[in-house]
A = this chain, B = another copy of it.
Amino acid sequence: MSKTVLIVFAHPDPKSLTRQLTDVAIEALENQGHRVLVSDLYGMGWKAVYDDGDFPARRDPERLDFAAESSHAYETGTQPADVVAEQKKILAADAVILQFPLWWFGMPAILKGWIDRVWARGLAYGIGGTGNQHRYGEGGFAGRRALVSVTTGGPAKDYAPRGINGPLDQILFPLTHGALFYPGMDVLPIHALHGVNQLTPEGAETAKAAWRARLEHLFEEQPIRFRAQNGGDYPDHHTLADDVAPGVSGLPAHTAA
Q: A residues touching B (Cβ–Cβ < 8 Å)?
A: 12-13, 15-16, 42, 46, 48-52, 62-67, 101, 103-110, 112-113, 115-116, 119, 132, 136, 153-155, 157-158, 160-167, 170-171, 173-175, 177-179, 182, 197, 229, 234, 237-240, 248-254
A136 touches B112 (CB 8 A): no
B48 touches A104 (CB 8 A): no
A64 touches B16 (CB 8 A): yes
A171 touches B174 (CB 8 A): yes
A249 touches B162 (CB 8 A): yes
Q: Distance in Å from the Cβ of A86 to the closest Cβ of chain B?
A: 14
B163 touches A110 (CB 8 A): no
> Given A104-B178, A106-B174, A197-B67, are A251 and B251 also a contact pair (CB < 8 Å)?
yes
> Given A51-B12, A115-B104, A173-B171, are A165 and B153 also a contact pair (CB < 8 Å)?
no
CA distance A46 to B161 in the complex (A): 36
Residue numbers in B under 8 Å from A12 (CB-CB): 51-52, 64
Residue numbers in B under 8 Å from A104 (CB-CB): 112, 115-116, 119, 174-175, 178-179, 182
